[in-house]
Structure 1
Amino acid sequence: MQVFDVTRGDSPIVLGQPHGGTFVPEDIARRFNTNGAGLADTDWHITRLYEGLLPEATVVKSNVHRYVIDANRDPEGVSLYPGQNTTTLVPLTDFDGQTLWLEGQTPSEDEIEARRLAYHAPYHAALKAELDRVRDKHGIAILFDCHSIRSNIPFLFEGELPIFNTGTNNGTTCAPAFEQAVHRIAATSGLSSVLNGRFKGGWTTRHYGQPETGIHAIQMEISQRAYMQETPPWAYDDTRARAARVHLQLMLETLSEHALSGRYL
């Protein structure tokens, strides 16, 4: 299994998809308990949700499941949300706080480092290479990091999550014009939305989003009720997805137009 896939485009936009993969090496899969084997915290169908919305965008997607190693966590293991429940570089629990591993099968520090080198580092090397390539071509690159999550997870947040959760680490990872454009589209979509709420942007967004270098980053966390069934077998819902895709397409097209025209300066 290829660790990641890259589809190159000519747009200033790069779509990052770190959590849509479901590949688990057999030797790791044998160590999951029943809960872990369910892979419930996948960003199900995220590639399908974004497919074709901006055909000229570059896509970098990880094929490895986040329970093997989380490609959107700090490789040094530093928490993104100090004081709040979250999952780690190699998760020990799922989003509900329930263990993933059979007794005695929790990954060691040496194993975590081996997985980082095998799966986390190659994905980010590919993502960085594409961001650099796009920036060299256009003078600017915008990483739109694509995520989705179940709408109700008491272990992580109270109540029901809005549909569109835009994260820019409180405005630090992109030019204000990009943040405002995306949030404006979300806020006028007729669907619920929030800017820098519970999800302010993961490690990927914070790491690459350095506007002074010409690389901007935005995380979009979408509640899964917007496009799929939130219980097994996690079926894609074309009718729901069609409505969400209209607004996502407008976001991507607007970002691309702003970047190419210099309207973010």
Structure 2
Amino acid sequence: MIPYTLHRGTAPLLVSLPHNGSAIPDDMAARMKRRARGSVDTDWHVAELYDFARDMGASVIKPFASRFVVDLNRPSDGHLLYPGKNETGLVPTVLFDGREIYRPGAEPDAADIADRVERWWKPYHQALAGELARLKAEFGRVVLWEGHSIRSEVPMLFEGRLPDLNLGTADGASCSPGLQARVTAVLERQEDYSFAVNGRFKGGYITRHYGRPAEGVDAIQLELAQLNYMDEDSFEYLPKKAAQVQMVIGEMLRVCLEGARALTP
């Protein structure tokens, strides 16, 4: 299985979709419980949702493998992103609903985890870092946009219903203040969706690691409540609902492009 696909664009914007993949190799699936084999916690359809970004000139990188194989948005050493809160790890062993992923005694050991990092995690990050370097060399500045989605209600991870649109910039560390303000202003102008900035989702490993605004890389994560573009029970993509939220996402991406070009040396 190829670890990822990378579309190389012509603008200073890279859209990363690290939880889009749903494939699980047969040898791993055989060790999992039936529900987990369906990769139920995938960021379903985000590649389709963000397909329009290519027409804007954006680069797009996405994996094939499920986050159950290895979570590309977690540090490879396994340390926690949200200490004191529930979260799934580098190689998850529980679903978002708290149920076990693996059959008893079939959980991955340290050697298995290390192998998955080599085979799946490192290639994605090498490609992501390489594309950021290419775009920065060409344009002087680049925006990394992390596209994510999740069920609107996940009691293990957060209370109540998640806001529709959740921006994360590691509390402002991964993005310049000016760009964060302009992207937030897009959300403030629209009236159709609830939103939060650096709320429960502040940006995962990719946002925090690669976002270095002082060095010319701004990184922003958007965690989108899935009910805004799909049926959360059947996983069916809903084009009419998706088109509406795509308008807001597209405006935020345009602001990012404008910001990158305005700050290019």
Fold similarity call, TM over 0.5: yes
Cα-to-partner distance string for 1:17-54 (whole Å, 9 max, x where unaligned): 10001111110011110221121100000000011135
Contact persistence 2:23–2:39 (CA under 8 A): no
Using structure 2 for the length normalisation, give the TM-score. 0.97
For structure 1, which segment, 27-36 or 53-62, has the greater mean C-alpha deviation from structure 2 after superposition? Answer: 53-62
Instruction: Kindly provide the CA deviation profile for residues 63-106 of structure 1, in whole angstroms up to 9, marking residues without a partner as x.
Output: 11000000000111010000000000000101111100111110
Structure 1 unaligned residues grouped into runs of 5+ = none
How far did residue 189 of structure 1 move?
Answer: 2.0
**Percent of aligned positions with the same letter in both sequences?**
39
Alignment of 1:101-120 (within 5 A): 101-120=102-121
Aligned 8 A contact 1:80 1:202 in 2: yes
Contact 1:17–1:147 (CA<8 Å) still a contact in 2? Answer: yes
- The farther-off stretch of 81-90 and 186-195 is 186-195
CA–CA distance in structure 2, aligned partners of residues 140 and 262 of structure 1? 7
Q: Distance in 1 between matches of 2:179 and 2:107?
A: 41
Distance 2:194 2:64 in 1: 30
| Equivalent pair of 2:3/2:123 in contact (CA under 8 Å) | yes
Residue of structure 2 in register with 1:254 after alignment: 255
Determine the structure 1 residue equivalent to 2:23: 23
Tell me what 1:227 maps to.
Answer: 229
Number of the residue aligned with 1:196: 198
Q: 1:7 corresponds to which residue?
A: 7
Stretches (4+) displaced over 3 A: none
CA distance in 1, matches of 2:190, 2:106: 45
In the aligned structure 2, how far is the partner of 1:67 from the partner of 1:131? Answer: 26
The residue type paired with residue 72 of structure 1 is N
Partner of 2:46: 46
Q: Which residue of 1 aligns with 2:220?
A: 218
Q: Shift in Å at residue 257 of structure 1?
A: 1.3
User: What does residue 172 of structure 1 align with?
Assistant: 173
Task: Decide whether the 8 Å contact of 1:150 with 1:225 is kept in 2.
Answer: yes
CA contact (8 A) 2:9 2:54 kept: no
Q: Verify the 8 A CA contact 1:228 1:241 in the aligned structure 2.
A: yes
| Structure-2 residue corresponding to 1:62 | 63
Aligned-partner Cα distance in 2 for 1:188–1:40: 34
On the 8 A contact 1:54/1:253 being kept in 2, the answer is no
The 3-state SS of whatever aligns with 1:246 is: helix
1:262 CA displacement:
2.2
Supply the distance in 1 between the matched residues of 2:225 and 2:246 (Cα, whole angstroms).
Answer: 13
Q: Which residue of 1 aligns with 2:86?
A: 85
47-56 or 67-76: which moved more?
47-56
**C-alpha separation between the residues in 2 aligned to 1:261 and 1:80?**
32
CA contact (8 A) 2:70 2:91 kept: yes
